[in-house]
């Protein structure tokens, strides 16, 4: 089986089934993510009893989007810092010649 082949699975999010196609090696991670999403939705349902499931799903999505953006920015800043350190090292080497 090549890495480009996909399998079809169905995931349950907030009580609704969603068919998706994924790489076989991603199945475990997808199932863990789905579990985490459902847990986050349950947390919002408990905290905001007057909100419906779609509101809780939207809030869970927003939570994950913020976490993703924060993590992405931290990663990018780390890469920039590494590149600047490398450039500084090159400049130090050049100046010592």
Give pTM, 2 decimals.
0.68
Q: Which residues pair with 13 in a beta bridge?
A: 16
List per-residue pLDDT tens for the chain, 97 residues long.
455 799 999 999 999 999 999 999 999 999 999 999 999 999 999 999 999 999 999 999 999 899 888 887 777 667 777 777 777 777 777 776 6
Per DSSP, the three-state class of 24 is helix
pLDDT at 97: 60
Strands 16-22 and 7-13, sheet pairing: antiparallel
Q: State the pLDDT at residue 38.
A: 95
What pLDDT is stored for residue 91 in this prediction? 76
Q: What is the DSSP letter of 97?
A: -
């Amino acid at each position: 089986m090549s890495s480009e082949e996909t399998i079809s699975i169905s995931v349950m999010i907030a009580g609704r089934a969603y068919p998706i196609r994924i790489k076989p090696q991603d199945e475990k991670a997808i199932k863990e993510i789905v579990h985490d999403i459902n847990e986050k939705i349950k947390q919002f349902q408990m905290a905001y009893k007057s909100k419906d499931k779609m509101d809780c799903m939207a809030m869970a999505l927003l939570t994950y989007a913020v976490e993703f953006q924060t993590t992405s920015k931290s990663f990018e800043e780390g890469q920039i810092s590494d590149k600047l350190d490398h450039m500084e090292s090159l400049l130090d080497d050049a100046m010592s010649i």
